[in-house]
Amino acid sequence: MTVRQTSSQQRRHADLQREPIDPQVVVASLKRGEDGAVVVFEGIVRHQTRGRKTLYLDYEAYEKMALQQLEALAAQALQQFKVRDVAVVHRLGRLEIGETSVLIVVVSAHRGAAFEACRWLIDTLKRTVPIWKKEYFEDGAVWADGEPFPDEIPRANPAAQGSHS
């Protein structure tokens, strides 16, 4: 992902792509002279799940919403943590063992905030962004168990006694 300017001159911080993710390209596009720290997180495809050997994964998304959610997460991270910039890239489609499914890059003057922001971004992404992965094994395929939605997100059950409207 290279940094793109939209017509409103607002930088995009998030991207979905089917091509392999190149972390170095993203890092290079983000770094500036005032940064003292770059934190890079890569989520990579594991070779097995609960003892079953994984052949490959396939990621799908509600793309329009996922992109909006990722941008919103990036904006929230910039507000909440003392970091200068962030980039979040998620891959879609078929991924082989060892490939990168998600990349998060955070740059800041100091490392503490960068680590915190990065951690928060991946933890929150995994619970809220509409992306799903299907795992293909030798003897079949199954949609991965998802993370429970956080309390703030209402559930589809009309009788649910949520504390949030």
Partner 1 sequence: MRVRVLLFGVLKDLAGKADDSVDLPEGASVADLIARYGSQIPRLKESLPALAVAVNQQYASPQTRLKSGDEVALLPPVSGGCGLGHSERSEESVHSAGGGNA
> By CB under 8 A, is residue 23 in contact with partner 1?
no
In whole angstroms, what is the distance from residue 19 CA to residue 84 CA? 27
Cβ proximity to partner 1, 19 vs 152, nearer residue: 152
* Three-state secondary-structure class, residue 25: helix
Tell me the two tokens of residue 92: 């879609």
Instruction: Considering only the stretches 3-11, 22-30, 109-117, 123-131, report the one whose residues sit in contact with partner 1 under the rule CB under 8 A.
Output: 123-131
Instruction: Considering only the stretches 1-9, 22-30, 31-39, 135-143, report the one whose residues sit in contact with partner 1 under the rule CB under 8 A.
Output: 135-143
* Three-state secondary-structure class, residue 105: strand
Tell me the two tokens of residue 132: 């799903």
Contact 96, 58 (CB under 8 A): no
> By CB under 8 A, is residue 98 in contact with partner 1?
no
The answer for 80, left when phi > 0, alpha when psi is -120 to 50, beta otherwise, is alpha
> By CB under 8 A, is residue 154 in contact with partner 1?
yes
In whole angstroms, what is the distance from residue 8 CA to residue 25 CA? 24
**Residues 66-95 contacting partner 1, CB under 8 A:** 66, 68, 90
**What type of residue sits at position 121?**
L
Task: Please identify which residue in 25, 28, 96, 145 interacts with partner 1, judged by CB under 8 A.
Answer: 145
> By CB under 8 A, is residue 117 in contact with partner 1?
no
Q: Which residues bind partner 1 (CB under 8 A)?
A: 42-46, 49-50, 59-62, 64-66, 68, 90, 101-102, 122, 125-134, 137, 139-149, 153-158, 160, 162, 165
